[in-house]
Amino acid sequence: MTTGKYGSDLMVEVIRGLGVPYISLNPGASFRGLHDSLVNWDGGGPELICCQHEKVAIGVAHGYAKVTGEPMAVALHDLVGLLQATMGIYYAFHDRVPMLIVGGSGPADTARRRPSIDWFHSANVQGNAVRDYVKWDDEPRSAQASVESLTRAWNIARSGPAGPVYVSLDADLQEQLLDEPLTAPDPALFSLPTPAGADPAALMQLAEALMQAERPVIVAGFAGRDPRAFELIPELAELTAAGVIDMGNRLNLPNRHPLNLTGTDVVSDADLVVFLDCKDGEPAITGVDPATRDLTSKLAPDARCMALGFGDTGIRGWSHDYGRLKQLALDVTADTVSALPQLVELCRALGAKADEKTAARRDKRRQELAAKHEARWASWQAQADKVADESPLSTARLAREVWEVVKDHDWVLTAGTSRGWAKKIWDFDRHYRHPGDSLGTATQIGISLGVALAHKGSGKLVVDLQPDGDLMFDLGTLWVAAYYEIPMLVIMVNNRAYYNDWAHQEHMAIQRGRPVENAYIGMEIDGPAPDFAAIARAQGWWAEGPISDPEAVRDVIRRAADHVAQTGKPALVDIVTQLE
C-alpha cells in the first residue's frame, strides 16, 4: 500500500476547508484522483451526490444556491463532461447563483497522456468552452497553484453579482505524490469582499426622487436573494406609496401584500419607475405581441426610470441576457444587500419630515393601490372559478387543489408555478416559500432537486409543480432523490405536450393562414403517453397516477404529502391537465 499525500488530497483539504457542503457529479476518470480523496482522504468529504447527467449535477447546485445563497461544488469529467453541462452553467450564470465547478483535465503534459482517450477528451485551455458565461476560470499548473486557484474561485463565485466559476484540475497533478509538505491554508485568511456600497449622494438622490414622486412604481428583480429584502421592499413601498411589480427572479415580497401590484397595469400611470436589482426589467414596462413581435411601451410619456443594482457590472459580450438598453435618469450601482437597507433608512427619515398634505396624498395613493391589488386578486379567483369544473383539470384548478393540501404544512415551492396560478392562489407569506421562478425547459427538475436538498431535515414540505416536457429530459433525477432520500413532493402538470412551443406554432399558423390543427406535430408527448407514476415507482418513489378525474386530485395529493412528511422520502402524483 502506497503511503503519502497526493495532489488530490491537498485539493480536497482546500475544498473541505472552504465549507463546501456537497459536491454533485457524474463519475469521470479525469477526476478519479479527486474522487478517491473525497471518499478516503482523512475522513473524506464533502458528501457526494451522484447524478445521471452533468447538467443535472449543475442543476442540483443551482437549486441549492438559490435557497441558501451559498455555493455547492460540482465535478465535471474532462472536456466532454464540461460540454454536457454547458446549458446548466449558462442558466446558473443568468440566474446569478454562486457555484464552484471543478473539472478534471489533461494531463496538460502530453507525454503523460494515455493514447487516444486523454487526447480527444482534452483541450487547450479547457475553460474556453464556458468562459463567456462563468465569472472566472483557471487551470492551475501545480499542486500549490491549485490551492490559490480554488480559494480565489470560491470568493469570486460568492462576490456580487454571484455566479459560477470553473477550475480545471489537471489529472496528473491529482494523481502525483506531493514532493513537499503542502497543507491547505485557513480560509479565514482570505476574506470575502464586502457587498459593494452605493455612492451616498446618488443614493440620497434616489431616495428623494421616490419620496417626491406622486405615483412611483418599484420593479423588483434579484433583491430577494437577501432574505431581509422580503421585509425591506414592503417597507420601502409603504414609505413611498409605491406599487411593486415582482419580476419573479426571487421572491421579493408577499404576494398578498396590498402594494404588490404584479400582474396589473400599475406602470401605465407611474411618474417614476425604479428598477431594484433587475438584470432585465423591460418586461415590466414593455408589451409585446407574441405573434408579430411588435413592442409597445407601457409607460406614460412623462415617466422617468431609475435603477439601483449592479448595473453594467458583470455584463458579458457573448450573452444578451441583460436586455434592451433602457433610458435611466439615474443609475445607482451597488449591491442591494448593502444599499437597500440604506435606501429604506433614507426614505424613512425623509418621510418623517413630510407635511400633512404630503402624508395625506401618500395615504390616498396606498388605498388606491390596495384597491387595485384586491380587484386583481378577485379577478384571478373569478377566472379560476370559471374553469373549476372542466376536465381535464385546468392549471388554475390544479393550483387550488394543491394549495388545499400544502397550506396545512410549512411548505416551499421549488420553481414552476402551474402556469403562474400558484402565485394567484397560494399565500406566499415567508421569504423561503419560493426561491424564484423556473427557467428554461430541461432545468426545473434538477433545480427542484437542489432546492429539496437544501431543505432536507428542515421539516418543510418541498413541492415541485413539474412540467412533463421538462422531466422527460432528465428522468434520472428521480433516482437521485430516492437514493439520497431527499424529501420532495412532485406534482406532474402533465398536458402531454411541449405546449409553450405548441402555442407558438398556433400563432404562426394563424398569422400565415395555415391549418392550426397541425400545431401538435412535433409537439405532443402522447401516443404513447409516458406513465410518470410507473417511471417514478421503478426508481424507488411512492407514486400514483395518471389522475384525470378532477374530484380525485385532492385526496391523492394529500396521501402523497403525508408520505413525504412521515417518511422523509419522495412522492410523485401524475395529474393530467389541459393544453394551456
- The tens-digit pLDDT sequence of the chain (580 residues) is 567 899 999 999 999 999 999 999 999 999 999 999 999 999 888 999 999 999 999 999 999 999 999 999 999 999 999 999 999 999 999 999 999 999 998 888 888 888 988 888 888 899 999 999 999 999 999 999 999 999 999 999 999 999 999 999 999 999 999 998 888 889 889 999 999 999 999 999 999 999 999 999 999 999 999 999 999 999 999 999 999 999 999 999 999 999 999 999 999 999 999 999 999 999 999 999 877 889 999 999 999 999 999 999 988 889 999 999 999 999 999 999 999 999 999 999 999 999 999 999 999 999 999 999 999 999 999 999 999 999 999 999 999 999 999 999 999 999 999 999 999 999 999 999 999 999 988 999 999 999 999 999 999 999 999 999 999 999 999 999 999 999 999 999 999 888 888 888 888 899 899 998 998 899 999 999 999 999 999 999 999 999 999 999 999 999 999 999 999 999 999 999 998 8
Note the CATH architecture for domain 387-576: 3-Layer(aba) Sandwich (3.40)
Cα–Cα distance, 52 to 483 (Å, whole number): 12
End-to-end CA distance of the chain: 63
CATH of domain 200-375: 3.40.50.1220
- Note whether 200-375 and 387-576 share their fold: yes
For the chain, the domains span 7-189, 200-375, 387-576
Write down the pTM of the prediction: 0.96
Query: Is the separation of the CB atoms in 449 and 460 below 8 Å?
Result: no
CATH architecture of the domain 7-189 equals 3-Layer(aba) Sandwich (3.40)
Q: What is the pLDDT of residues 293-333, one digit of tens each?
A: 899 999 999 999 999 999 999 888 899 999 999 999 999 99
Q: CB pairs under 8 A, 24+ apart, for 264-269? A: 264/372, 264/373, 264/376, 265/298, 266/217, 266/369, 266/372, 267/217, 267/219, 267/298, 267/299, 267/303, 268/298, 268/299, 268/300, 269/215, 269/300
Q: Cell 391537465, residue?
A: 577
- Per residue in 22-45, pLDDT (tens digit) is 999 999 999 999 999 999 999 888
Alpha-carbon gap, residue 515 to 506, rounded angstroms:
9
